[in-house]
Amino acid sequence: MTKITAIIPTLNEEIHIEDAIKSVRFADEIIVIDSYSTDKTIAIAEKMNVKIIKRKFDDFSSQKNFAIDQAKHSWIYILDADERVTPAVEKEILEAVNNPQGFVGFYVRRTFYFADEKVNYCGFQRDKVIRLFLKEFCRYNGNPVHETIAAKGKLGFFKNKIDHFSYRSFDHYIAKMNHYGALKAQQLHEKGQSVNIFHVTVKPLARFFIHYIIRLGFLDGFVGFLVANTQAYGVLVRYIKLWHLNKRAKNGL
């Protein structure tokens, strides 16, 4: 049987890490690569017989690529801590690694949940990510926030979906938005992007409109309204943080 290494990047994921590890127990090696969590993430992981690597976070691509380099096996399954591999997808994973049919990686679609409520629209109906791949042919690129995989070869698709509990806790969501916002703001700051009223008013409203109207979030009812609002909030955070970075640079701080 072909062997698999599952990799779970973490930063303060105590509410997710146990279930995440359990969902990839089919893997022959499980690596938790942690960005020096300050909660109980590591304490929980240490009890579950997994390999733990601590590394200072610089960006998502570098973090994942570093963990891939430590993996014992060629087939890699990347699992974000807020994702769960379902039994149907586990079956597809095991079939794929033992009979890849020329594919070097596989996309999987995700079922999105907001506070345990399933979200069918808001743009998430088209959500897909490469999660299973051969490390010899696939590598994460340098995008600091929305990292993608550059693959040298054909990519396949799984039929079934994994579960994605991105917003199980509102406090966890706020922390995640602050983290993503800081990374994106730093990227824009380095490009010399300025901030004005348009960025903190029109752009968040536009993001709400895109998710709630264009991407059919209204069909999800009140949950769709909340999701669209959180997406708008993420844009607002980005530009507030960028404004702060620009102000500090202007003042020589």
Same domain, 176 and 153: no
Alpha-carbon distance 19 to 168, whole Å? 13
* Last residue of one domain, picked from the residues 142, 167, 192: 167
Q: Say what the pLDDT of residue 161 is.
A: 97
* Mean pLDDT score, 2-15: 96
Same domain, 184 and 71: no
Same domain, 129 and 114: yes
State how far the alpha carbon of 6 is from the alpha carbons of 24, 77, 176, in Å.
7, 5, 22
Same domain, 140 and 243: no
For the cut 80, the answer to whether the pLDDT of residue 243 exceeds it is yes
Per-residue pLDDT tens over the stretch 33-43: 999 999 999 99
For the cut 80, the answer to whether the pLDDT of residue 146 exceeds it is no
